[in-house]
A and B are shown apart, each in its own frame.
Chain A
Amino acid sequence: MNTLHIEGVGLMAPGLAGWPDGRAVLIGERPYVAEAMPAASAALLPANERRRTTATVKLALHVAQEAILQADIDPSTVPTVLASSGGDSEVVDRICAALILPDRPVSPTHFHHSVHNTPAGYWAIANRCTATSLSLSAYDDSFAAGLMEAAALAWTDRTRVLLVAYDLPLPFPLSERREIVAPFAVALVLNPAPTERRLATLRLERRADQSVSRLDDARLEALRLGNPAARGLPLLWAIAHSTASRVTLSTGESGGLELEIKP
C-alpha cells in the first residue's frame, strides 16, 4: 500500500505554461525563461461564475483541468485534495481593507470566497462532482502534505485522487510579510492501481532526515524555494526525465517524504 501511479499532470507558472511546455524545460530541451504566464482559463465554469472567480480559483482549476484531460478520465467521481499555503490572499486583502472603512462594508461575495476550499467548491460545481474533497495547508510544506493526504485517500478508499497544489504572490501590503515570487500551480491524477494511462509510478516513504532534493538550474531552484506549490518541482523533474530516481520533499519538522519514481 505505498505505490501510486501518475496518470495526468497539469502545470502552470511563468515559463512553464502547461505540462508539455514544462516538461520540455525540465528535460533541458529549451532553457527556462520566466516569461509572463498566459491567462489561466476557467472555461469549464459557467460564464456568471467565471466572472466572479479570482485569479486563484482560475489557476487551480486550470491545472486541474489539464491533468484530468491528459488522464482522459471522467472527473465527476474523482475525490480531490487541494494544497495551498495561504489560499486566496487577494480576497483576504479586500476584506481586511473593507474592515477599516466606515461601517465595514465587507462584500458578501468576498466573504464566501474567503474560505480555503473555494477552488474545491468551484471544481465540484463545474464537474458535478459529489466525491469528497479536502483543502489543506502546511505552510511551505503544503505540496508534500497534499501528496500524503492524496496518497492516504487513494489507498484507503482504493480510488483515483486529483491533487492540486497552488499558491500565488500576495498583494501589497501582505506581500512584504510573505514572499511568494511567482504564481505556481500543479495537478496530478493519482491512481493506486496501474492502468494503461500510467506515466510514472511513485513509492512514498516517510524519512527522518531532511536531505531535500534541489534543482540544478538556479532559476528553477529559486522558483522551487519561492512558492510552496513549486516544492513539487523535483518530482515533476523526475517524471519528465522518465528515469528511475529518488526525490525527497521536506515535511518540515517531521522530516522528509522520500519518493521513489519509476518510469
Chain B
Amino acid sequence: MAIKPLAVAAYTVTNALGRGVAASLAALRRGESGLRPCDFEDAALSTWIGRVAGLEEEPLEDEFAPFDCRNNRLARLGLEQDRFGAAVRAARERHGADRIGIFIGTSTSGIGATEHAYRQRDPVTGRLPDHFDYQHTHNLFSAADFTRRWLALRGVALAVSTACSSSAKAFASAYRHMRAGFCDAAVVGGVDSLCLTTLYGFNALELASSQRCRPWDAGRDGLNVGEAAGFALLEWAEPDDARPLLLGYGESSDAHHMSAAHPEGTSAALAMQQALARAELRSEQVDYINLHGTATPSNDAAEDRAVLRVFGPDTPCSSTKGWTGHTLGAAGITEAAFVWLCLEHALIPGMLNTRRIDPNLGVGVVLDNRERPVRTALSNSFGFGGTNCSLLFGRRGA
C-alpha cells in the first residue's frame, strides 16, 4: 500500500537567485544564473560561487545575538520570506507548539564562526576569543535550535547531517516522526552557508570548477559551492488536497567509498526505486527528475547510470545547480522547492550552462526550459559517505 502522503502547507527558499520563492521562479523562467566569480571573504580561489547577497550586513540581535553567524543569518533571512512565519503561527494554533517537529538539514552549520575564531586565537595561549559561542553557532544543532526558537515551537527538534543529502533526508525523518506520533506536523528545512572549509575543501579534492558548473556537459569539470536556506511546513494531506504532496521517499547507502559515488550507481538506483515503491508509482508515471547533478565528472556519470537503470532514457531530467550552485546540506530542500514550482507552474527547467551533452551519458536531459504540466516529479540528493536520498512529489489535478 502506498504511504500516507504529506502535504506541503507552506514553503520558502532563499539562495543566490534571491530572497523568497518568486525570485527563484523568475530566475528559473528567465534562465538567469545566480553564480558569480568567487568573492567570498578573502578566499583566493578561481572558482564560481552561489552567494546570497547582503548577509554580511544583517547580524542577529537581541535574544538571537548568541546565534549570530552567517549560517543562522541565512536561516533568519529564509524564515522571513513568503509569509512562512505566519503559516507556522497558524499551524501552531491548529496543532500546538509542542506538536510541530523541527527537522533541519545542514552539513557545516556555523563552522564559519569557528574559522573566524581561529584567526583571532591568542598568539601566546592559543585560546579562542571570548565572544566565540560554539553551541549557538558552530554546533550542528544550532540551525535547528535557532529555527525552533525563531518560530516559537517546542516540538521534537534535530539536525540531520548527512552531507549533501541532509535536507532531503530531513523529509524522511519528519515523515517517520509523524507516523510514530512524535509530532503532528513538521517544519523541515535546510541551511548551509558559504565558508572557507567547503571552498578550500572542494578545491583540495579538485572538485571545484573554475567556470560556471556544467552538469552533464562533455567538458564538465566540477561543482560551484552555493549557499541556501529553505523551509517547508508539512501536514498530513487531506482527500483531494491540491497542495504539493510528498508521495514517496527512498534512502540508501553506497557502501563503496567515502568521497566517490559508486560508479554503477546501484544504491542510488535503490533509493529511487524505494521512492517509487512507497508511492506505488511506476517509473513511466514520473514527469520530471531534478538530478543531484553536481557537474563533477564521476558524480554525474554515476547518477546517469542510476537514473537509466530505473527510468530509462526518456524521462525529462535536469540539474538546477547551474542556477544556484551546489548548496550542500540545503540542496535537498532547495531542489524539492524547485520541484514544487514545477508542479505549480507547469515548468521543466533546463540545464543552465550545459551546451554539449556528454555522449557517454544517456538520460533524457532537458537543455532548455519547457512549459508543460508536471504531475509527479523526483528529486535526487547524494552525498559524501555514500548517502543517497530520493524524494517523490506530486500534485493532484496538475
Contact = CB atoms under 8 A, between A and B. Distances in A.
Given A131-B252, A136-B160, 11 more contacts: A2-B181, A100-B119, A106-B204, A108-B201, A115-B162, A122-B258, A145-B158, A152-B176, A173-B121, A173-B128, A178-B139
Indicate the size class of the contact surface on chain A: 35 or more
A137 B141 contact: yes
Interface in B253-274: 253-259, 266-267, 270
Interface in B171-213: 172-173, 175-177, 179-182, 196-197, 200-206
Instruction: Report the 5 A-B pairs with minimum CB-CB distance, sorted nearest first.
Output: A121-B385, A111-B201, A116-B161, A132-B251, A152-B176
Interface of B: 98, 107-108, 111, 114-115, 118-119, 121, 126-128, 132-135, 138-141, 144-145, 148, 154-163, 169, 172-173, 175-177, 179-182, 196-197, 200-206, 251-259, 266-267, 270, 383-387
Interface in A78-98: 85-87, 92, 95-98
A117 B161 contact: yes
B156 A254 contact: yes
Interface string A107-138: 11011111111101110110111111111111
A127 B386 CA distance: 13
B243 to A, nearest CB: 22
23 contacts: A86-B139, A87-B140, A96-B197, A107-B204, A111-B197, A111-B201, A115-B162, A115-B163, A115-B383, A117-B385, A118-B258, A120-B387, A124-B253, A124-B254, A125-B258, A133-B387, A135-B161, A137-B140, A149-B176, A151-B180, A156-B180, A173-B126, A253-B157
A149 B156 CA distance: 10
B267 A206 contact: no
A2 to B, nearest CB: 8
Interface centre among A85, A97, A131, A134, by most chain B C-beta atoms within 10 angstroms, is A134
A244 interface: no
Nearest to A80: B253
A196 interface: no
Interface in A162-194: 172-174, 176-178
A67 to B, nearest CB: 18
A120 B251 CA distance: 13
Contacts of A118: 258, 384-385
A116 B200 contact: no
Given A138-B144, A172-B126, A124 B119 contact: no
A198 B177 CA distance: 24
B36 to A, nearest CB: 21
B255 A251 contact: no
A111 B205 contact: yes
A259 to B, nearest CB: 14
A61 to B, nearest CB: 13
Contacts of A155: 176, 179-180
Nearest to A95: B197
Interface centre among A120, A127, A152, A178, by most chain B C-beta atoms within 10 angstroms, is A152
Contacts of A115: 107, 161-163, 383-385
B114 A136 contact: no
A124 to B, nearest CB: 4
Interface string A197-222: 00000000010100000000000000
Interface of A: 1-2, 85-87, 92, 95-100, 104-108, 110-118, 120-122, 124-125, 127-139, 142, 145, 148-149, 151-153, 155-156, 172-174, 176-178, 206, 208, 251-255
Contacts of A122: 258
Given A148-B156, A152-B177, A206 B387 contact: no
A46 B267 CA distance: 21
B190 to A, nearest CB: 14
Contacts of B139: 85-86, 137, 139, 178
B251 A139 contact: no
A172 B64 CA distance: 27
A97 B257 CA distance: 26
A145 B134 contact: no
Contacts of A87: 140, 161
A152 B115 contact: no
A151 B251 CA distance: 17
Contacts of B257: 125
Given A117-B384, A172-B126, A176-B127, A148 B161 contact: no
Interface centre among B98, B158, B254, by most chain A C-beta atoms within 10 angstroms, is B158
Contacts of B383: 115, 117
Contact of B387 (A117, A125, A177): A117
B159 A156 contact: no
